[in-house]
Amino acid sequence: MATRILRVPHVVIVGGGFGGLWAARGLRRAPVTLTVVDRRNHHIFQPLLYQVATATLSPADIASPIRQVLRRQRSTEVLMAEVEDFDLGRRQVVFTDGERLEYDYLILATGATHAYFGHPEWEPLAPGLKTLEDATEIRRRYLLAFEAAEREEDPEEQRALLTFVVIGGGATGVEMAGAMADTARHAIARDFRRIDPSQARIVLLEGGPRLLAAYPEELSTYAREALQLRGVEVRTGSIVTDVQPELVRIGPETIRTRNVVWAAGVTASPLGKRLGVPTDRVGRVEILPELSIPGHPEVCVIGDLASLDGADGNPLPGVAQVAMQMGRHAASNVVASIEGGVRRPFKYRDKGSMAVVGRNAAVLHAGRVKLTGMLAWLGWLLIHILFLIGFRNRFFVFAQWAWSYLSWQRAARLITGAVGSELAPPGKPLGTPDAPQSQSGRDAEAAARQGQTAPSDTEAPGWMSGDRHQAGSPR
């Protein structure tokens, strides 16, 4: 009697972010061999990136090696490689070094990056927050500005150095502005002799009529007032028209500043376009309800790279909960395909959203529950600790937060990387005469070359997520 040797299907997941990791975990007991491919060796807990950028946490506190996260899954291997293309006919992914990897099922979860509304030249001047490199670069410029101001004799130059502009009033912009204000007003307030850091001017610019546009109006109002209490200048209805090395323009108005942070737009990973199926205006792949692409049931696209309407007819927001739930769902549909079961359509369960404004101040929206202040802030702390990957990270982040709360200090006030001969060279980013472009910046450029643009006036909600946001908006 002839023996039939059954080959175990090979699943390839590209991307070890929230979507990819949750898909991998969903496949841990499945009858498959699994390869997770990422161009970085670590998963980043993006919701806490702003705390690295404002010196509260260190990069290692919010990142975990993907290999370590998945080490107990014996049938899973992790490859560090950058994917640049696909051969859907041969069922292969193509790496940048030309190597190819075959799959039976592919789950693509390469996320999103910043969008500069067709102005990639703004990226070196106004870095966005996506990677650990972005966060440490923003931290470097933020801390360098105080150092340069301490040495600056011209009061006008000093004022420009101590003016910080955050562009984008979504959750990331609100969190950045609040944390910058808390750091300047408390953590470093007494450490300088010639300048008073608490006098730093922090301006938050939002193109739309209110901050946190995806939240109920009273929560937006609370966020605005809580930021203003911290001394942040909140400017809504302010569309940025130009960013230059020493200024930001809002129509005819000019703000002199040496320090700009971009939190105003996202665009999908350029890999989405390589699938050759329709994408939306920000490059997100238009997927079928059971998360695959038209004509290729073996290819699923999930997370920030996927465009799918929710029950209310609006596109699902680019937030971690969507990516995680899609990851789990894609895994179960792959198993259903292998076992001859039925693939189910994806249904997003909105568990709510939250954003932090600063010490003791946050907003939380879940169903009919709307919380502000201390209670929302405690809820935010708890949820973030619970969702952080790895016991070590949870332990260290909790310890850092407790220490920062009690001492009003920031533990990670390090200016890393080479500083130019001048701290504040005229016409150049602070301390970086030749600032290298980050990976996310290169992605943004690639996306811009493909003509993807993003709207400026929408935003997505915070952790736990759930509020509707429109394609291309930052959270």
Ligand X SMILES: Cc1cc2nc3c(=O)[nH]c(=O)nc-3n(C[C@H](O)[C@H](O)[C@H](O)COP(=O)(O)OP(=O)(O)OC[C@H]3O[C@@H](n4cnc5c(N)ncnc54)[C@H](O)[C@@H]3O)c2cc1C
Which residue, 49 or 444, has its beta carbon nearer to ligand X? Answer: 49
* Interaction of residue 170 with ligand X, rule CB under 6 A: no
As a whole number of angstroms, the distance between CA 316 and CA 468 comes to 6
Residues in region 257-296 near ligand X by CB under 6 A: 269, 271
Region of 139-147, 298-306, 344-352, 405-413 interacting with ligand X (CB under 6 A): 298-306
- Out of 9, 12, 18, 334, the only residue in the binding site for ligand X (CB under 6 A) is 18
- Pick from 320, 376, 397, 430 the residue near ligand X by CB under 6 A: 320
Q: Is the Cβ of residue 165 or residue 447 nearer to ligand X in the bound state?
A: 447
- Please return the burial class of 235, using the count of CB atoms within 10 Å of its CB with bins 0-12, 13-18 and 19+: middle
- Which member of 123, 137, 175, 459 is catalytic? 175
Contact 118, 444 (CB under 8 A): no
CA distance 270 to 143: 32
Q: What tokens were used for 159?
A: 């004022």
User: At CA 87, angle to CA 83 and CA 89, rounded to 5?
Assistant: 155
Query: Smaller CB distance to ligand X: residue 160 or 300?
Result: 300
Name the DSSP class of 242.
E
Give least dist CB 175 to ligand X, A. Answer: 8
- What is the per-residue burial (b if ≥16 Cβ within 10 Å, else e) of 214-224? bbeeebbbbbb
Q: Is 175 a catalytic residue?
A: yes
Q: With contact defined as beta carbons under 8 Å apart, do 139 and 54 qualify?
A: yes
Q: Which stretch binds ligand X (CB under 6 A): 3-11, 139-147, 299-307, 427-435?
A: 299-307
Least distance between ligand X and beta carbon 156 (Å)? 32
Q: Work out which of 137, 147, 152, 304 binds ligand X, going by CB under 6 A.
A: 304
- The span from the CA of 238 to the CA of 79, in Å, is 44
Cβ proximity to ligand X, 111 vs 197, nearer residue:
111
DSSP state at residue 128: B
Q: How far is the CB of 280 from ligand X (least distance, A)?
A: 15
By the rule CB under 6 A, 123 interacts with ligand X: no
* Residue 436, burial from CB neighbour count under 10 angstroms (0-12, 13-18, 19+): exposed
Q: Which residue is it, tokens 């939240």?
A: 215
**The one among 144, 232, 260, 323 contacting ligand X by CB under 6 A:** 323
Binding ligand X (rule: CB under 6 A), the pick from 9, 13, 19, 364 is 19
The answer to whether the Cα torsion of 364, 369, 372, 376 is positive or negative is negative
Contact indicator for 386, 378 with CB cutoff of 8 Å: no
Q: Which amino acid is at 118?
A: G
Separation between Cα atoms, residue 217 and residue 208, nearest integer Å: 13
Reduce the DSSP state of residue 87 to 3 states and report it: strand
Pull the structure tokens for residue 227.
Answer: 């930021």
- Contacts of ligand X in 360-389 (CB under 6 A): none
17 contributes a contact to ligand X by CB under 6 A: yes
d(CA 257, CA 188): 20
**In the complex with ligand X, which residue's Cβ is closer, 132 or 424?**
132
Alpha helix segments (H runs only) across 303-372? 320-338
Residue 204 contacts ligand X per CB under 6 A: no
Interacting span for ligand X (CB under 6 A) from 17-25, 237-245, 392-400, 405-413: 17-25
Stretch that binds ligand X, among 8-16, 149-157, 404-412, 444-452 (CB under 6 A): 8-16
Q: Which of 54, 64, 183, 321 binds ligand X (CB under 6 A)?
A: 321
CA-wise closest residue to 99 among 42, 40, 37, 43:
37
Give the binding range for ligand X (CB under 6 A) out of 46-54, 187-195, 209-217, 279-287. 46-54
Question: Which residues lie across from 292 on neighbouring strands?
Answer: 300
Q: Is 318 in the site for ligand X (CB under 6 A)?
A: yes
Site string for ligand X, 125-164 (x = CB under 6 A): ----xx----------------------------------
Would you call 45 helix, strand, or coil by DSSP? coil
Looking at the annotation, which residues are catalytic?
Answer: 175
Interacting residues toward ligand X by CB under 6 A: 14-20, 37-40, 46-47, 49-50, 82-83, 109-111, 129-130, 171-172, 269, 271, 303-305, 318-321, 323, 462-463, 465, 475
